[in-house]
Amino acid sequence: MAERFTKSMARNIYLGGSVFFVLLFLALTLDTQLRAMPERDNREQLTEDVVRGKHLWEENNCVGCHSIMGEGAYFAPELANVFDRRGGGDTEVFKSYMKAWMNAMPTNVPGRRQMPNFNLTDEEIEDLAAFLEWTSKIDDNDWPPNIEG
């Protein structure tokens, strides 16, 4: 670097640049969280069932194998749109699908990826289904590209 570019100039770019972009990021965060998200994240449908379902999702570490909205592990299918894929967008169909699926685990097919049986009650499976249904309705800029996730 040219000698005319001094260390204190470099330091000022660092300090000025980071302060500016931290403030910009905070402003954008406020706009995102206060203005935009209430209209996009379907929060008026966030029922007690959905909240319980999210806790079940977390306490069984579902994200350790699955992805949800593309985040998580890539060992098992995406679940943010499983309500559409397996439930056809119908709450009752999806609940019965979920019960059948969860109770059939593990398949024990030799050599195939195995999902544990988490011993959930029917009510718990319904909560989980409610959480996944709610998640499927967040406006996520039309991701994923197709139903397979």
Partner 1 sequence: MKYESQRVAMPYFIFALILFAGQIVFGLILGLQYVVGDFLFPEIPFNVARMVHTNLLIVWLLFGFMGATYYLVPEEAQTELHSPLLAWILFWVFAAAGTLTILGYLFVDYATLADITMNKLLPTMGREFLEQPTITKIGIAVVVVAFIYNIGMTALKGRKTVVNIVLITGLLGLGGLWLFSFYNPSNLATDKYFWWFVVHLWVEGVWELIMGAILAYVLIKLTGVDREVIEKWLYVIIAMALITGIIGTGHHFFWIGPPEYWLWLGSVFSALEPLPFFMMVVFAFNMINRRRRNHPNKAALLWAMGTTVMAFLGAGVWGFLHTLAPVNWYTHGSQITAAHGHMAFYGAYVMIVLTIISYAMPIMRGRPYGNGNTAQVVEMWGFWLMTISMVFITLFLTAAGVLQVWLQRIPESGEALSFMAGQDQIAIFYWMRFVAGAFFMAGLVVYLGSFFIKGEASPAEEVRGPATADA
Best CA proximity match to 68, nearest among 121, 122, 146, 131: 131
86 burial via Cβ count (<10 Å: 0-12, 13-18, 19+)? middle
* CB nearer partner 1, residue 10 or residue 93: 10
For the bound state, the minimum distance from the C-beta of residue 112 to partner 1, rounded and expressed in Å, comes to: 4
Give the C-alpha separation, 7 to 67, whole Å: 45
Per the listing, tokens 């379902």 go with 53
* CB nearer partner 1, residue 73 or residue 93: 73
* CB nearer partner 1, residue 45 or residue 96: 45
For the bound state, the minimum distance from the C-beta of residue 99 to partner 1, rounded and expressed in Å, comes to: 18
* CB nearer partner 1, residue 92 or residue 112: 112
Q: What is the DSSP letter of 41?
A: S
Strand partners, 67: 72
- 101 membership: H or E segment, kind and range: helix 91-104
Contact 31, 130 (CB under 8 A): no
* CB nearer partner 1, residue 63 or residue 99: 63
For the bound state, the minimum distance from the C-beta of residue 137 to partner 1, rounded and expressed in Å, comes to: 11
For the bound state, the minimum distance from the C-beta of residue 119 to partner 1, rounded and expressed in Å, comes to: 9
Q: Rg for the chain (alpha carbons), in Å?
A: 22
For the bound state, the minimum distance from the C-beta of residue 101 to partner 1, rounded and expressed in Å, comes to: 13
